Amino acid sequence: MPKCRNFVFGYGQLVDDGGNQRDLARAKNQKKQVEMQKKKNASEKTGLSLQERKHRDAELMREKQRKKEEELAAKKHHKQAAN
């Protein structure tokens, strides 16, 4: 498909007025599609299904919350011991 460019006549010659917005948008979209495909492939390489990933993430969050609660309890205990 030939590229259509806009030309303006001026001073006896053709002057290119740009008109590459469509080309730029196409290139930007292509780059975006490649990045999305890379992310998709990376998630497929882990070998986990959506349900398995949710379970794994939930376990990580529970562990993180448990550690935070232990830290707060230790600070509270340390503060009470100091008084």
pTM of the full structure: 0.41
Query: What pLDDT was estimated at residue 79?
Result: 81
What does the pLDDT look like over 10-46, one tens digit per residue? 555 555 556 789 999 999 999 999 999 988 877 667 6
Q: Are 22 and 3 in contact (CB under 8 A)?
A: no
Amino acid identity, position 29: N
For the cut 90, the answer to whether the pLDDT of residue 48 exceeds it is no
Q: How far is CA 56 from CA 47, 70, 73, in A?
A: 13, 21, 26
Kindly state the tokens that stand for 67.
């550690």
Per residue in 52-66, pLDDT (tens digit) is: 889 999 999 999 999
Identify whether the C-beta of residue 34 lies closer than 8 Å to the C-beta of residue 25. Answer: no
Mean pLDDT for 5-10 is 57
CB under 8 Å to 15, separation ≥6 — which residues?
7, 8, 9
